[in-house]
Amino acid sequence: MPLLDKFVVVNLSKGFVLALIVTLLVLSAMLIQPFLQYVLGAVLLAYVLYPLQIRLEAYVSPMVAALSLVILAVSGFVAPLVVVLGTVVDSADRVLEDFDTDPVQIEMIESRIEELTGQEVDITGELVSSGREIGTIVFERSTQAFGTITFHLIGIALALFLVYYLLKDGDDLVNWLHRTVPLPMDSQRDLYIEINDVMWGVLFGHVFVAIVQGVVAGVGLVVTGVPNALFWTAVMIVLAMVPLVGAIPVWGGAVVYLYLTGEPLLAAGLFVYSVIVVGLTDDYLRPFAVDRYAKLNPAVILLGILGGAYAFGIMGLFFGPVVLGALKAALRVGLDNWSQLDESDIG
C-alpha cells in the first residue's frame, strides 16, 4: 500500500473513532442528564464512604463491605433525612398556621411597623394573597404528581445501586482511569491528589461548616423562643453553604421578629449570640478548611457555588467549586506535562 494511501486510511480510522466517541459521549450525557442529581449524590456519598470501604475489605469481601455501607448510609443518613424533611415540611405548614391562630400578635407587629415607618401594613392579607398564588402554582404543577414521585423513587434506587457498585468496584475504576488517561503516572498522581484535596476542602469547608453553623444558629432560635426553629435551622444550613450570605437573613429576621413582638432583651441577646458565636464558626472553621485543603480563592468558591447551583441544582453547591478546583489542578498538571515533553524533545 502506498504511503499516502496508508496515511489517509489511518487518519480516516482515527477520525471515525473520534466521531464515534463524541457521539457516544453525547448520547451518554443525554441518558445521565435526567438523573444527574442522583448520580452526583451517589458519587459524593461513595467518595465519602470509600475510605471505610478500604478498611472493611481487610476483614470481609468487597461485596459484603459495599452492601454494609449502603445499608449504613440508608439507616444513618437517608432515613433521618426523610424524617427531618417531613418535620421541616410540617413546620413550614405551621408557620402560616401560627399567623392565622394568633391575630393579636399580628396586629401588634403591624402596629409596631406603622409606628416605626408610618406605613400601614396588612400582613395577613399579604400572606393570604401569597398563599393563594403559591397554591395555584403547586396545583398546576401537581397534575403529574404520580409520575414525579415514581421518578424520584427510581432516582433514589439508582443512586443506591451506583453507591454500591462504586464502592465494590472502586479499585477497578481507579485502575481503569490510570490506564485510560493519557498522562504519565506521576502527573496522574499529582492530579488526583489535588482533586482529592479540593473535594475534602469543599466537603468540610462548606457542607460540614454549614451544618455546624446552621445548628449553632438554630440553638439560639430555640433558646429565644422563635417559632418553628427546626424549619428555620434547616433553611440556615442551606444558606450557610453560600459565602457572603450565610445564616444572616434568618437569624437577622428572627432578631427583628423578637423586637417587633415586644422582646427587645431576647432580640439583643440573639443578635450578640449570632454575631459572636455563629460568626466564629464561619470566620475560623471555613477559612481553615478551604485554605488547608482546597486552596481556592474565595471569589472562585463563590462563583463555583452560585454557578454550580444553576448548572447542577442543589448538588451544584458542592460540585461547582470542585469543578473549578479540578480545572485549576488539570491546568497545572497539564502545563507541567507539556513542559516536560518540550524539554524531552529539545534534548
Q: What tens digit of pLDDT does each residue of 182-239 get?
A: 777 777 787 788 788 778 777 777 777 888 888 888 898 888 888 878 888 888 887 8
Q: What is the DSSP string of 276-291?
A: IIIHHIIIIIHHHHII
Cα–Cα distance, 114 to 228 (Å, whole number): 26
Q: What digits encode the pLDDT tens for the residues 276-313?
A: 888 877 767 766 666 566 566 667 777 887 788 788 77
pLDDT of 276 reads 86
Q: Are 201 and 293 in contact (CB under 8 A)?
A: yes
Which residues touch 97 (CB under 8 Å, ≥6 apart)? none
Q: What digits encode the pLDDT tens for the residues 122-145?
A: 655 555 565 555 555 555 555 555
What amino acid is encoded at 207 in this protein? V
| pLDDT interval class at 262 (50, 70, 90) | confident
pTM assigned to the model: 0.62
Residue 6 has pLDDT above 60, yes or no: no
| pLDDT interval class at 329 (50, 70, 90) | confident
- The CA–CA distances, whole Å, from 158 to 75, 270, 318 equal 17, 43, 20
Encode burial over 190-208: b for 16+ CB neighbours within 10 A, e otherwise: bbbebbebbbbbbbbbbbe
Residue 101 has pLDDT above 50, yes or no: no
- The CA–CA distances, whole Å, from 114 to 43, 80, 107, 108, 123 equal 52, 43, 10, 10, 12
A 10 A CB-CB count for 68 gives 15
Residue 44 has pLDDT above 70, yes or no: yes
Residue 106 has pLDDT above 60, yes or no: no
Question: What percent of the chain lies above the pLDDT cut of 70?
Answer: 67
Q: Which of 273, 274, 255 is nearest to 264 (CA)?
A: 255
